[in-house]
Amino acid sequence: MTAANPRRVALRVVLQVLQKGRSLDDSFREEWLRSLQMDGRDLGLAREIAFGLCRWYFALLELLRERLQKPLRERDRDIECVLLIGLYQLLVMRTESHAAVNETVKLARACNKKWASGLVNAVLRGVIRDGVRLDESAAARAYPDWMRDRIRADWGDSAEAVLVAGSQRPPMTLRVDTRRCEVETMIGSLAANGIVATPHALVDSAILLETPRDVTQLPGFEQGLLSVQDASAQLAARLLRCRPGARVLDACAAPGGKTAHLLQEYPAIEVDALDSSEPRLERLRQNLERIGQSARILVGDAASPAGWFDGRHYDAVLADLPCSASGVLRRHPDIKLLRRESDIAPLLEQQAGILQALWSVVAPGGRLLYSTCSIFRAENELQLERFLREHTDASEIALHEARWGELRPAGRQILTGRDNMDGFYYALLTKSAN
């Protein structure tokens, strides 16, 4: 099967997610796709279908299986995906019925399975004939069972809103370098170019675009005045409250959004950016070059300071740790398909190990900001409560004055979708001076 049109590209990408465990972002960066030289409109359609199908996969799969007389075989996973692409176009994108059916039947034929086009035609026309619609609860069903159950157990009455928010398209949020350009000035510059943007209600460096755009075409991007970053992630730099001359470590730093913000927010600090992935650090270098900033780049495992720590302790450490990414499902919907319940216990152990290691490099009187893009309590407040019990030299600086998120027994939690923000968790710790 060639991959020359957007639906074929989307099918191939989704199959890579399902069969090879590849992320959507990695798949869309692969050489085979770049070699197609698709125009922006076609590439945008391919991304919309691939990302959207992953976002709604479990709800659409439930609907499809109700309408099949017998389950498809594993070797026909491609045809199942073709059917789901058709359902996504009909029920979520609201593509015109005739076009959605015809294009999906063509996609089935391209799979070289003669029987499949008849099945696809019958299923989709049946959905149209019966007036099938996704009800209000469909967004909350668009999750693997274990993930939905954990969110409900953690967040009770708030869970349904969180589930629905996690199945929506995210806003395109930008960070303005407020030391070089006022937010209102940037909004005016965008408006002069026909781009509607509004300031975020709670994060004064953040603006939201009414319609997503190619960021490289935005005025101010190449000059480093604008960067893509969700409002919740923009909170990290200011929470650290770095003093001039402070020595700061951004652990697990790549691809560098928070590193860049630290350098823009505190021009008189010294920053070390640590990550174990050399390819991801290359993206960090590119991001810093674009904004005209620099940091000392360290390649190493945050859990093993012996490989990178030079003995000079840090005044501030940003510990943005590996996590389930359950708070950013709307931006990375493939996580719904790729993450397993069995992943959580090893992640908790990894987080605890990194936190323990990073605490050892914090100077007396220094601060550590623990951060995840997770909404699972086990990765956040429960992890911090345990750490605080075990470390008598650690105390929490409670974020009482914050207007975002909700105060927890330890730290502060932002739930997905609240105030147009991704799900995020922060806890600020200080090490005793003696």
147 in a structural domain: no
Q: Report the percentage of the chain scoring pLDDT > 90.
A: 92
Q: What's the pLDDT at 237?
A: 96
Q: Which band of pLDDT confidence, cut at 50, 70 and 90, is reported for residue 53?
A: very high
Find the catalytic residue in 54, 242, 323, 373.
373
Q: Are residues 182 and 243 in the same domain?
A: no
Region 31-53: mean pLDDT is 88
Predicted confidence band at 37 (pLDDT cuts at 50, 70, 90)? Answer: confident
- Identify the weakest region by mean pLDDT among 5-14, 23-32, 56-65, 96-105: 23-32
**What confidence score (pLDDT) does residue 3 get?**
45
Model confidence, pTM: 0.94
pLDDT in tens, 352-367: 999 999 999 999 999 9
Structural domain contains residue 289 = yes
pLDDT band at 4 (very low <50, low <70, confident <90, very high): low
Known catalytic residue: 81?
Answer: no
Measured distance CA(302)–CA(319) in Å, rounded? 9
219-244 confidence digits (pLDDT tens): 999 999 999 999 999 999 999 999 99
Dihedral, 279, 284, 290, 295 alpha carbons, nearest 10? -130
- Residue 1 pLDDT > 60, yes or no? no
- Give residue for tokens 């005739």: 98
Q: Are residues 280 and 394 in the same domain?
A: yes
Question: What secondary structure does DSSP assign to 59-74, as a single string?
Answer: HHHHHHHHH-SSPPPG
Q: What is the mean pLDDT of residues 347-353?
A: 98
Q: Residue 329 gets which letter from DSSP?
A: T
Do 95 and 205 sit in the same domain of this protein?
no
Average pLDDT in the 365-379 region? 98
Classify residue 148: in a domain, yes or no: no
267 and 375 co-located in one domain: yes
Mean pLDDT calculated for residue range 402-412: 97
Q: Are 11 and 85 in contact (CB under 8 A)?
A: yes
Percent of the chain whose predicted confidence (pLDDT) is above 70: 99
Max avg pLDDT among 21-30, 276-285, 415-424: 415-424
User: DSSP 3-state assignment of 144?
Assistant: coil
Q: What total number of domains does the chain contain?
A: 3
Where residue 372 sits, what CATH number does that domain have? 3.40.50.150
Q: Supply 254's token pair.
A: 């790549």
- What pLDDT score does 215 carry? 92
- CATH of residue 206's domain is 3.30.70.1170
- At residue 428, does pLDDT exceed 80? yes
Query: In angstroms, rounded to a whole number, what is the distance separating the alpha carbons of residues 116 and 146?
Result: 32
The parent domain of residue 394 ranges over: 235-431
What pLDDT is attached to residue 168? 94
In a domain, 341, yes or no: yes
Across the range 181-195, mean pLDDT stands at: 97
The answer on 391 and 262 residing in a single domain is yes
d(CA 55, CA 164): 11
pLDDT score for 430? 98
